Amino acid sequence: MKLELSGIVIIVGAYGSGKTEVAINLAVHMNAKGTTVRLADLDLVNPYFRTREARHALSRLGIDVVLPPAKYMQADLPILTPEVAGMLRNPSGLTLLDVGGDDVGATVLAALADPLKGKAVQVLQVINPNRPYTDTVSGCLRIREEIEAKAKMVITGIVGNANLMEETTEQDILAGYEFSKHVADAGNVPLVFITTPTELLTRLDKKDIHCPVLALKRQLVPPWKRAETLGPSE
Amino acid sequence: MAKVLMKGNEAIGEAAIRAGCLNYFAYPITPQSEVAEYLVRRMPEVGGVFLQGESEVAVGYMLFGAAGAGARVFTTSSSPGISLMSESISYIAAAQCPVVFVNIMRGGPGLGGILPSQGDYLQATKGIGHGDCRLLVMAPASVQEAVEMVMKAFPLAEKYRNPVMILGDGLIGQMMEPVEFPDHLKSEPSNKDAWATNGMDHRKSNTRNLVKSLFLDPVVLNDNNLALKAKYDRMRVEEVMSEPYNTDGDYKGLIVSYGTMSRVCRTAIDMLKADGIEVGMVRPQTLFPFPVKAVEDAALKPSCTHVLSIEMSMGQMVEDVACCVKGRLPVSWYGKCGGDIPTPEEVIGVVKERIA
């Protein structure tokens, strides 16, 4: 199954669910298909491991990354650059917003209600059942409600991002798929896609997976590791 | 228990609960605020308390009060917050109460920055508060090790009736790794009858306990300092922890590095090995007591010609490393602070220039 997304796509989810890795890799995936992609780093909550760390790799591929002004790049200040409203008013092929974690991180979306008015928007909730508080269906639904209340937006789909980073196994992916399906069913929204580390993609038995699979190349790595090389692999 | 994917800060909070600590007092500061965010939700689930003080100064004395009453208690903060707590740490050490402090270091001095640093080494190991007081200081290099050290910190604080500090840096707090938690420990300090001021009807002992740090009689004050010194000397014998890396064979140079920086050095050592250059490493896991013998023995291996202290600071631990080597080999420092962590390539460059 092919993963095709366009228009305005907003990535939300619990803190540490993997929103940024999903957003970066989704941007690269659609860019490789010839879609014009703009990606905005809206993580105003946490100053570590943000999209901005992959900005150079993304720019090299021709993906436009919208960030706060350089002098504020390392600040833990809630800076929402006006460029974000501009990109929402005139969306390109795929306009991606990578939002901060939990309801606190999603609060920024309420401030974008005006440029989003009347626009078709997909709001995708990233879930990882190997994280605290999103290891149950009810936990995922609870965080969904909290995000929707603060964002003043409705979540339209689920992204299954089950992983234990480099310790992820095929079993984790398959169990995570089943879990994500339950969350999607319980919330009455589609499971839009799931992710897998790229090195597991070929070994993964996909016959029971009935949704697109996005292969992730990890970008937000500690300084003793190298980020995987981004770019078309298909 | 199955592994879960956790941020260092979250894992530190959970580890404290697993260690039977149900009292957490803190004041938020980047890059460790996730401990509070995690525990504000988690503590009520286990019948525990998270109380935010009006400042780190207040938090320090809330900890002192709770510990004096026999409660297992801890806090987390980052560099400037720890400075504000330092007065109370001295009082807690003087009064011989067990408290666990976690410092997730950020760049300094002053307000500095919010990215990882190891600039509080000297503060933690030698200058945490006024008077002759010391902390037992442990430095984790992974999220899993942070969990283990936090769980170990509570029994050690009670064994010595002394504050214990976990000294991590912003990356240890912020990075995510799969972790697993051991079973719960028992939740009550086993030796608290000897010191807790929790009312005579709560204790088996008939002696009255008094928690204080004022000793006006010079002989009594000296005796108290001797009692503290005896504990710190005992720590030097019983609590030293370090981990060697690539020290089995011959090596031309030795790196001493801890925490996040040691993981970069590990990668550099692996890359150097592929290049035919052998470098060993000693990673101190306790910073006080410092692993003097491990560093000395590794440095004095006949093949070793140079010892490098690599730190995310402007050369703090290098003083301890030089004390171990005692002038028998050249000792030098390399590091950066401010949040820009040296890369494996930079470490390799320094090794090639000074050692290879």
| Residue B330 main-chain phi, psi, to 5 deg | -65, 135
Helix intervals (H) in chain B: 8-18, 33-45, 56-68, 79-94, 121-125, 143-160, 170-174, 218-238, 259-274, 292-299, 318-325, 344-354
Is B344 within 8 Å of A167 when comparing Cβ atoms?
no
- Contact state of B178 with A47 under an 8 Å Cβ cutoff: no
HSE at residue B37, side-chain half, CA atoms within 13 A, is 24
- What string of DSSP letters covers A139-196? HHHHHHHHHHHHHTS---EEEE---BTBT--HHHHHHHHHHHHHHHHHHTS-EEEEEE
Work out the minimum CA distance from B271 to partner chain A, whole angstroms: 11
Topology match between the domains B4-238 and B242-354 = yes
Do A17 and A126 touch, CB atoms closer than 8 A?
Answer: yes
Q: Closest partner residue to B5 among A47, A48, A163, by Cβ?
A: A163
Average pLDDT of every residue of chain B = 95
- For residue A87, give every residue at least 6 positions away whose Cβ sits within 8 Å of its Cβ, in sequence order, or none: A38, A40, A66, A95
**B residues 262..281 contacting A (CB < 8 A):** 263-264, 266-267
Q: Give residue limits of the domains in chain B.
A: 4-238, 242-354
CA distance B202 to B204: 7
Residues 194-233 of A with CB under 8 A from B: 222-225
CB atoms within 10 A of CB A166: 12
Structure tokens at A20: 């940024």
CA gap A146, A150 in Å, rounded: 6
Establish if A157 touches chain B: CB-CB under 8 angstroms: no
Name the packing angle between helices B344-354 and B259-274 (round to 10°).
70
Contact call for B171 and A47, based on CB within 8 A:
no
Instruction: Read off the pLDDT of residues A94-103 as tens digits, 9 standing for 90 and up.
Output: 999 999 999 9
Q: How far is CA B36 from CA A30, A78, B2, B49, B143, in A?
A: 38, 19, 24, 11, 17
* Spatial CB neighbours of A52, under 8 Å, sequence gap ≥ 6: A41, A65, A67, A73
**Residue B165, H or E segment:** strand B164-169
Q: Is the pLDDT of residue B1 over 70?
A: no
Cβ-nearest to A16 among B7, B170, B341: B7
- What residues have CB less than 8 Å from A71, skipping those under 6 apart? none
Question: Mean pLDDT over residues B21-30, rounded?
Answer: 96
Q: Where do the domains of chain A lie? A: 7-216
Contacts of B263 in chain A (CB under 8 A): 222, 224
User: How far off is chain A from B65, nearest CA to CA, in Å?
Assistant: 32
- Provide the percentage of residues in chain B whose pLDDT is more than 90: 91
Q: Are strands B136-138 and B164-169 parallel, antiparallel or unpaired?
A: parallel
What is the pTM assigned to this prediction?
0.95
Quote the CA–CA distance of B240 and B237 in Å, as a whole number.
Answer: 7
Residue type at A23? A
Best probe of the B interface among A102, A195, A221, A224, by most B CBs < 10 A, is A224
Per-residue pLDDT tens digits for B51-65:
999 999 999 999 999
Chain A residues with CB-CB distance to B176 below 8 A: 16, 165
Q: From residue B349, give the alpha-carbon distance in Å to each of B82, B272, B324, B341, B346.
A: 34, 10, 25, 15, 5
- Which residues in chain A touch residue B168, judged by CB atoms under 8 angstroms apart? none
| Superfamily of A7-216 according to CATH | P-loop containing nucleotide triphosphate hydrolases (3.40.50.300)
User: How many H helices and E strands in chain B?
Assistant: 12, 14
Report the alpha-carbon distance of residue B62 to residue B88 in Å, rounded.
Answer: 9
Nearest CA in chain B to A223: B343
pLDDT, tens digit, 9 for 90 and up, residues B200-243: 877 777 788 999 999 999 999 999 999 999 999 999 999 999 99
Q: Closest partner residue to B5 among A47, A130, A225, by Cβ?
A: A130
Q: Is B270 helix (H, G, I), strand (E, B) or coil?
A: helix
- CB distance A131–B175 less than 8 Å? no
Q: What is the pLDDT of residues B142-171, one digit of tens each?
A: 999 999 999 999 999 999 999 999 999 999
pLDDT of residue A234: 43
Do B114 and A46 make contact, defined as CB atoms within 8 angstroms? no
pLDDT digits (tens, 9 = 90+) for A120-171: 999 999 999 999 999 999 999 999 999 999 999 999 999 999 999 999 999 9
Answer whether A134's CB lies under 8 Å from A158's CB.
no
Q: Among partner residues B5, B170, B177, which is closest to A131 by beta-carbon distance?
A: B5
| Cis, bond preceding B109 (omega within 30 deg of 0) | yes
At residue A89's C-alpha, the angle toward residues A88 and A90, to 5°, is 90
Nearest CA in chain A to B179: A164
Q: Can you tell me whether residue B65 is helix, strand or coil? A: helix
Edge-first strand listing for the sheet containing A64-66: A64-66, A37-42, A94-99, A7-13, A121-127, A157-160, A191-197, A213-216
One of 3.40.50.300, 3.40.30.10, 1.20.1370.20, 3.40.50.920 is the CATH number of B242-354, namely 3.40.50.920
Closest CA to B289 of B241, B231, B255: B241
The pLDDT value recorded for residue A233 is: 53
Question: What CATH number belongs to B4-238?
Answer: 3.40.50.970
Chain B residues with CB under 8 Å of A130 CB are 3-5, 178
pLDDT tens-digit profile of A179-206?
Answer: 999 999 999 999 999 999 999 999 888 8
